[in-house]
Amino acid sequence: MAANNEFVGGKVMTTLYQHGTLALLVPGLFTGTQTVGELLKHGDTGIGTLEGLDGELIIMDGIVYQVNAMGQVRVVNADETVPFANVHKAHPQPKIAVEDASSDALKQIALKELKTENLFAAIRVDGEFSQMHTRAVLPQTKPYPTLAATAEGQHEFNATNIKGTIIGYFSPVIYAGAVAAGFHLHFLSEDHVMGGHILDFDLAKGNLQIETFDNFNLHLPVHDPDFLETKINAKQAMRDIAKAEN
């Protein structure tokens, strides 16, 4: 049995694992501080970014895909590193059929199913999208710029009538800073040629699955001297996160 999913009173305890925090990206702490191989010990499904803020990661069935700033998709190797990522061990969930929903409408459906905004939850949508609009950030080199500066250089991608999968999370707003508050969703097309961090979409038809978590396991980059020494201005961090993630 995986260490992250213990039986308690006959119920599987589910855990959302996170390496790094969103706030540490704000001043430009983009050094990869955990290998993808280590990350995958904590789950088979998730999202993240590579060292240097190199593109958008989407993790499905234990395989890590990167969508880079040129819009290219490839499988990431176990020895590559992440400054920030979320994973969980996915358990099959009831499939909620959804038709003709904008991204905003789908989020409302998910919140209605959740019945609370105070739990962490994984979101998965498999379906056909009449429109998908994503972005991927440009890789940065040392000395790293701030997150706000990198957001200006991102590339956007549009696709129509595309099949694929959305993977991501809903996080309670109270944990903003450590996480991206609200919905943080990534996309990968079924043919693995288009994806990225989702800006908006229209779902023609698909299935929504939601999994809530009992535990939130925040793992910090304890061996990274830059992380240990950097002073993070909380107010500035919240402003820059809002700008970069919306």
Least distance from Zn ion to the Cβ atom of residue 180, Å: 7
Q: Which residue is nearest to Zn ion (CB)?
A: 197
Q: Are 98 and 125 in contact (CB under 8 A)?
A: yes
Least distance from Zn ion to the Cβ atom of residue 75, Å: 18
Least distance from Zn ion to the Cβ atom of residue 83, Å: 13
Q: HSE of 215 in the Cβ direction (CA atoms, 13 Å)?
A: 19
**Residue 126's closest CA among 205, 199, 56, 64?**
205
Q: Which residues pair with 75 in a beta bridge?
A: 65
Least distance from Zn ion to the Cβ atom of residue 47, Å: 6
Q: Which residues pair with 208 in a beta bridge?
A: 96, 125
237: exposed, middle or buried (C-beta count within 10 Å: 0-12, 13-18, 19+)?
Answer: buried
Residue 214 token pair: 């009992």
In the complex with Zn ion, the residue whose CB is nearer, 42 or 186, is: 186
Least distance from Zn ion to the Cβ atom of residue 36, Å: 16
In the complex with Zn ion, the residue whose CB is nearer, 90 or 198, is: 198
In the complex with Zn ion, the residue whose CB is nearer, 101 or 180, is: 180
In the complex with Zn ion, the residue whose CB is nearer, 13 or 173, is: 173
Cα 33 to Cα 153: distance, rounded to the nearest angstrom: 23
User: Left (φ > 0), alpha (ψ -120 to 50) or beta: where does 171 sit?
Assistant: beta
Interface positions with Zn ion (CB under 5 A): 197
- Residue identified by tokens 């038809």 is 205
In the complex with Zn ion, the residue whose CB is nearer, 55 or 127, is: 55
